[in-house]
């Protein structure tokens, strides 16, 4: 790939980068534009624009921009110099040492882990909030982003070096940070029913939230970004299907497919779809008809006077809607998040005896091990092994 072209250097380079980032306003949150403009270099911005032009998924590009801003700030604070391309092996090892460390050792040796001045600098920039070592998944993701951006610059890094792999493995073990669930509790069928009961009205906001919850759950537990990005053009009406596919005399139910295009785990060549049948289809059609939405985003913001915005909900809004409905249902919103719809779908499928492979066709999980974990839990609870003494 040709090296990204450097941007012109006007009197205020930060302002110039902010204006360049405006071209990515559909991807990058506007509120972060100025922050990223101050953190990134001209070459960084040029690289991000090139990736967007090449068709990289919005979520992936958003994560790359965020990680790149963090890496630039961390490197400047740690070494007093901008992020080098390619990064030397020593800098990668320093990154691991600064982010994955042993809390017990830190209590005895304050110099262990991330230096205080680096930590304070990152906190001052609003880039570091949590206490203690970073989550291993976060460190791995940022190293992966670093590697991707290095390759896109036509360079080769040291990301496969044995020393880095060994250091990462040992540091993860030493940091002893328990893995946190994205949602403390899964939104299973029983929980979903309670949330839907709060939407049992004819207000536009009730119609929207009912359609959103049913669609997100029944389509395999879609991610909040996928729900927010759903467009009318992605919905394809299908012939009605029987409630019981083995019984031709069973009632016919409405059916449609949702074309998801590229999802978080799909490549540019993968174009996938999921199926909706029955009540979710009815709720979705009722919402779009009442809201008079025949093109563009399906789920949109509604103001306090009942006016519907032309723009799509943000992924954060999807999460807020679920938490609001949890509060209205008498549930603790701190225990649930939008990701609970995804874990809840697989948990519910396991509880109802749906074969794993069939559930994965709808959830689009690529990892059998990850999807199977929900099934293993259900089998343990429903099996005889845990009932030897009851």
> Looking at the chain, how many residues does it have?
390
> Does 289 map to a domain?
yes
Out of 175, 200, 233, a domain closes at: 175
First vs last C-alpha separation in the chain = 65
Q: What is the pLDDT of residues 60-106, one digit of tens each?
A: 777 888 898 999 999 999 999 999 999 999 999 999 999 988 888 88
pLDDT at 167: 85
- Both 215 and 100 in one domain: the answer is no
- Both 354 and 206 in one domain: the answer is yes
Please count the structural domains in the chain: 2
Report the DSSP beta bridge partners of residue 231.
297
pLDDT at 356: 85
> Does 262 map to a domain?
yes
- Both 353 and 308 in one domain: the answer is yes
Q: What's the mean pLDDT in 269-274?
A: 70
> Does 183 map to a domain?
no
Q: With CA atoms as reference, report the closest residue to 87 among 100, 65, 72, 67.
A: 72
Q: Provide the residue range defining the domain that includes 40.
A: 13-175
Q: What's the mean pLDDT in 167-171?
A: 83
pLDDT at 72: 92
**pLDDT at residue 284 greater than cutoff 90:** yes
Q: Which of 2-11, 34-43, 179-188, 376-385 has the lowest mean pLDDT?
A: 2-11
- Both 36 and 123 in one domain: the answer is yes
- Do 136 and 177 form a contact (C-beta atoms < 8 A)? yes
pLDDT at 184: 75
- Specify the higher pLDDT residue, 54 or 340: 340
- Both 110 and 73 in one domain: the answer is yes
Instruction: Tell me the C-alpha distance between 231 and 45, whole Å.
Output: 29
- Specify the higher pLDDT residue, 224 or 19: 224
Task: Count Cβ atoms within 10 A of the Cβ of residue 174 and give its class: 0-12 exposed, 13-18 middle, 19 or more buried.
Answer: middle
pLDDT at 5: 47
**pLDDT at residue 268 greater than cutoff 50:** no
Position 27 confidence tier, pLDDT thresholds 50, 70, 90: very low
Q: What's the mean pLDDT in 130-152?
A: 87
Q: What is the pLDDT of residues 195-247, one digit of tens each?
A: 999 999 889 999 999 999 999 999 998 988 899 989 999 999 999 999 998 99
- Both 288 and 142 in one domain: the answer is no
Out of 175, 201, 223, a domain closes at: 175
- Both 168 and 194 in one domain: the answer is no
> Does 72 map to a domain?
yes
| Torsion angle of the four alpha carbons 135, 139, 142, 146, in this order, in degrees rounded to the nearest 10 | 180
- Both 169 and 203 in one domain: the answer is no
């Amino acid at each position: 790939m040709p090296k990204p072209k450097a941007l012109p250097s006007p009197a205020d380079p930060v302002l110039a980068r902010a204006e360049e980032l405006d071209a990515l306003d559909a991807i990058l949150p506007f509120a972060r534009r100025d922050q990223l403009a101050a953190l990134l270099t001209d070459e960084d911005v040029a690289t991000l624009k090139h990736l967007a032009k090449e068709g990289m998924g919005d979520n992936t590009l958003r994560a790359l921009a965020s990680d790149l801003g963090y890496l630039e700030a961390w490197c400047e604070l740690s070494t007093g110099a901008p992020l080098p391309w390619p990064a030397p092996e020593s800098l990668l090892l320093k990154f691991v040492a600064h982010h994955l460390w042993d809390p017990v050792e830190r209590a005895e040796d304050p110099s262990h882990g991330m230096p205080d001045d680096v930590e304070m600098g990152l906190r001052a920039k609003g880039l570091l909030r949590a206490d203690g070592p970073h989550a291993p998944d976060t460190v791995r993701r940022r190293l992966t982003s670093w590697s991707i951006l290095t390759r896109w610059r036509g360079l080769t890094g040291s990301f496969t070096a044995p020393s880095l792999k060994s250091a990462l493995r040992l540091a993860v073990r030493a940091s002893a940070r328990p893995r946190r669930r994205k949602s403390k509790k899964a939104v299973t069928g029983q929980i979903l029913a309670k949330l839907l009961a709060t939407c049992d009205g004819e207000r536009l906001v009730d119609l929207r939230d009912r359609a959103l919850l049913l669609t997100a759950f029944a389509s395999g537990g879609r991610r909040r970004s996928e729900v927010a990005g759903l467009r009318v053009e992605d919905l394809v009406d299908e012939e009605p299907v029987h409630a019981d596919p083995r019984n031709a005399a069973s009632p016919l139910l409405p059916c449609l497919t949702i074309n998801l295009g590229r999802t978080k785990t799909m490549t540019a060549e993968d174009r996938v779809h999921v199926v909706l049948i029955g009540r979710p289809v009815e709720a979705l059609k009722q919402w779009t008809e009442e809201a008079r939405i025949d093109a563009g985003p399906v789920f949109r913001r509604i103001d306090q006077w009942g006016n519907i915005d032309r723009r799509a909900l943000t992924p954060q809004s999807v999460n807020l809607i679920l938490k609001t409905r949890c509060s209205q249902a008498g549930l603790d919103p701190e225990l649930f998040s939008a990701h609970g719809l995804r874990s809840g779908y697989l948990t519910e499928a396991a509880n109802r005896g749906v074969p794993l492979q069939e559930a994965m066709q709808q959830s689009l999980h690529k990892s059998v091990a990850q999807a199977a974990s929900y099934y293993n839990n259900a089998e343990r609870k429903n099996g005889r092994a845990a009932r030897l003494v009851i």
